[in-house]
Chains A and B, each alone.
Chain A
Amino acid sequence: MTGGLLVLPVAGPLLVAGLLALVHHRWPHTTRLDRVVGPAAAGGVLVFAGFLLAATSGGAVPVLQLGGWQPGIAIVFAADTFSAVMLAVTSLLVLVSLPFAAALGEDEDPAFVPLVLVLLAGVSGAVLTADLFNLFVFIEVMLVPSYLLFAAGGGAERLAAARLYVSISLMASTVLLAGVGLVYGVAGTVNLGELAGAAESSPAVGFAAAVVLLALGVKSAVVPLHGWLPQTYSRTGPAVAALFSGLLTKVGVYAVIRLYSVVYGGAPRYLWVIMAVALLTMVVGVLGAVGEHAMRPVLIFHMVSQIGYVFVGLALSTATGLSATVFFLVQYVLVKTALLMCAGVVEHRYGTGDLDRLGGLARREPLLAGVFAVAALTLAGIPPLSGFVAKLGLASAAAAAGHHLAVALIVGVSLLTLLSMVKLWNGVFWEPPDEQPGADGDAEPGEASAAADGGASPVASALGSRVRPLVLAPPLFLAASAVVLGLWAEPLLSLSTVAGADLADPAAYVAAVTGR
């Protein structure tokens, strides 16, 4: 594959989004067209990512020096196996999330699909660029549509969360830009190839790059910079939350891993900071979930906890640790999106995600319960599901590096995750709903339309149609992929081994980017 094609996953979705916006301007009611064109564009990026994976897994690093300038000055795109894996996962998520949003009716807004495609273009650009400033630009390209999607539909609570989300994101972006400026000031370049190893050899570059890492830490919601995530993601639309959980924070995670691997050269000097942050994130995230009593907030605290797992492999900075991280990241993104989709379906159909007001859904919605159970067990890491393979990889890599505390916490936090998932399972699917007439009298009006119909009785006993199977197709697909990746892990394991080896020794990537 020639490097010139690398611009396609960025330009393609942008072009389609622009054309769709033009069509909407002329003919306002073309939701059906959107439902075909949006997934088709995401599918196109997925196919491209497949070809890219085939090309990069052999060790090739396609590179594009845009604008005909010399390497080092040109705007540079480059892809190694890690980039290709991320591109494949993110485009797959968009491909699955668009029908889910359509099934929940969240895509009625004519701007929805074009905005999601711009978001996809930003994500593609962020994982393909090899230039710090363009990383900032693509993160902004990704964030601006996310601001609009976040607030779409309105409602006082959602707008208040949107203000918080925009403020935090803007703050992080400002710090990111300042960090890029500092890196340019001390190193004289923002090209990742030219910066290779610079932060390891020069403390000034190390400090400047640390400002960038700090900003990316806010984006990827690591403790102690995680406070905004549960406050915001549980208050937007269910489909939007599922989409964001797979795309936005993961781009932050990708950028941190890429930067530490290339700019710091995996320097062992600072690894203890990453390890401390990773372990703290795991523990604080899982403990935060204990205090929550609704589906989405619990799941979002687990999102924080799982991001900690991802960073454990980076903190080891060995080839096995990094490949375990790549494997973990891929399977976790799929499973977490499946779980958030399940929570979204429950909220959409029954009007609430509150554990006290739900119950007994296992009998009413056997398919939904099955999907949730598989995804929840995967998140906890029960064999033979993919979460087990991922955590086994991380734990054995940590044990090989002699980090016994990390091994203990990987196992212990998994146990707490399982407890938390059992709490959700019991509250939503298993136990009969609490028979306390009037107990939900303090519930916010308008939040639970189903409860309003059924008077004071708990939500789940309100009769009516069940969830349509079509709505469950996207989470079912993602949960099935968790089973497949667990039983037949070999292809992804070999890909992540290549990606981990490239990250541990980024010489090929650096050589391709600098053109030397």
Chain B
Amino acid sequence: MTAALVVGLLVASGVFLLLRRGLLRVVLGFVLLGHAVNVLLVSAGGMQRRGVPLLGEAEADVAADPLPQAFVLTAVVITFGITVYMLALARAGDPGATTGEPAPGEDADRGGEAADLDQRTEGGPS
């Protein structure tokens, strides 16, 4: 039940962020959706048995299902990599990053949030 609520909350927040303007919010939305799916995967293995799934550590009837944990581990790595790449894409689209001048029409494609991010990183110590 708790897992279902957590998944529902994470999916709702993720979808809300996905529908916002600005690539940064979209990326954060994907992060939340990724977490939702990870909780879903873990709960797919059953929420009752939580023992360490190693021989000699726990009996077979209390050991957790190790397969969904392996799934989640794989999925976390993939999501992390793609999230970093999407953040790079948000930055690469910034014409100021290479030329120092904004390109015409470029701001229309990008959301205000990404622009905020750029200004913050440019203004900060670097």
A residues apposed to B, CB below 8 Å: 133, 137, 140, 144, 147-148, 151, 154, 156, 159-160, 162-163, 166-167, 170-171, 173-174, 177-178, 180-182, 184-185
B64 at the interface (CB under 8 A from A): no
Chain B residue numbers with a CB within 8 Å of A174 are 30, 33-34, 37
Chain A residue numbers with a CB within 8 Å of B40 are 178, 181-182, 185
Interface of A (DSSP majority class): helix
- When the two chains form their complex, are residues B37 and A181 in contact, meaning their CB atoms are under 8 A apart? yes
27 contacts between A and B (CB under 8 A): A137-B74, A140-B78, A144-B78, A144-B81, A144-B85, A156-B93, A159-B93, A160-B93, A162-B89, A163-B89, A163-B90, A166-B82, A166-B86, A167-B26, A167-B30, A170-B30, A171-B33, A173-B78, A174-B33, A174-B34, A178-B36, A180-B71, A181-B40, A184-B44, A184-B45, A184-B67, A185-B43
Contact partner of B71 (CB less than 8 A), chosen from A133, A144, A154, is A133
A163-B93 contact given A137-B74, A178-B37, CB 8 Å threshold: yes
- When the two chains form their complex, are residues B37 and A159 in contact, meaning their CB atoms are under 8 A apart? no
B115 at the interface (CB under 8 A from A): no
Chain B residue numbers with a CB within 8 Å of A181 are 37, 40-41, 44, 68, 71
- When the two chains form their complex, are residues B86 and A184 in contact, meaning their CB atoms are under 8 A apart? no
- When the two chains form their complex, are residues B93 and A170 in contact, meaning their CB atoms are under 8 A apart? no
B5 at the interface (CB under 8 A from A): no
Chain A residue numbers with a CB within 8 Å of B89 are 151, 159, 162-163, 166
Q: How far is the CB of B5 from chain A (nearest CB, A)?
A: 16
B92 at the interface (CB under 8 A from A): yes
Q: How far is the CB of B76 from chain A (nearest CB, A)?
A: 11
How many chain B residues sit at the interface, stated as a range, is 20 to 34
Q: How far is the CB of B66 from chain A (nearest CB, A)?
A: 10
Closest to A133 in B: B71
Contact partner of B37 (CB less than 8 A), chosen from A137, A167, A177, is A177
Q: How far is the CB of A76 from chain B (nearest CB, A)?
A: 14
- When the two chains form their complex, are residues B82 and A170 in contact, meaning their CB atoms are under 8 A apart? yes
User: CA of A171 to CA of B31 in the docked complex: distance in angstroms?
Assistant: 11
Q: How far is the CB of A158 from chain B (nearest CB, A)?
A: 10
Chain A residue numbers with a CB within 8 Å of B44 are 181-182, 184-185
Chain B residue numbers with a CB within 8 Å of A178 are 36-37, 40
A147-B85 contact given A184-B68, A185-B44, CB 8 Å threshold: yes
Q: How far is the CB of A246 from chain B (nearest CB, A)?
A: 23
Contact partner of A151 (CB less than 8 A), chosen from B18, B92, B105, is B92
- When the two chains form their complex, are residues B93 and A147 in contact, meaning their CB atoms are under 8 A apart? no
Q: How far is the CB of B98 from chain A (nearest CB, A)?
A: 9
Closest to B106 in A: A156
Closest to B14 in A: A174
Chain A residue numbers with a CB within 8 Å of B112 are none
User: CA of A133 to CA of B75 in the docked complex: distance in angstroms?
Assistant: 10
Chain B residue numbers with a CB within 8 Å of A182 are 40, 44
Give 3 nearest A-B pairs by CB, closest first.
Answer: A185-B44, A181-B41, A181-B40
User: CA of A509 to CA of B33 in the docked complex: distance in angstroms?
Assistant: 35
Chain A residue numbers with a CB within 8 Å of B85 are 144, 147-148, 166
- When the two chains form their complex, are residues A154 and B109 in contact, meaning their CB atoms are under 8 A apart? no
- When the two chains form their complex, are residues A156 and B103 in contact, meaning their CB atoms are under 8 A apart? yes
Docked complex: B26-78 residues within 8 A CB-CB of A: 26, 30, 33-34, 36-37, 40-41, 43-45, 67-68, 71, 74-75, 78
Closest to A73 in B: B67
New A-B pairs, 14, CB < 8 Å, besides A144-B85, A166-B89: A159-B93, A163-B86, A166-B82, A167-B26, A167-B30, A170-B30, A177-B37, A177-B41, A178-B37, A180-B41, A181-B37, A181-B68, A184-B44, A184-B45
Q: Per-residue CB proximity of B92-106 to A under 8 Å, as 1/0?
A: 110100000001011
Chain A residue numbers with a CB within 8 Å of B71 are 133, 180-181, 184
Chain B residue numbers with a CB within 8 Å of A163 are 23, 86, 89-90, 93
Closest to B23 in A: A163
Q: How far is the CB of B11 from chain A (nearest CB, A)?
A: 9
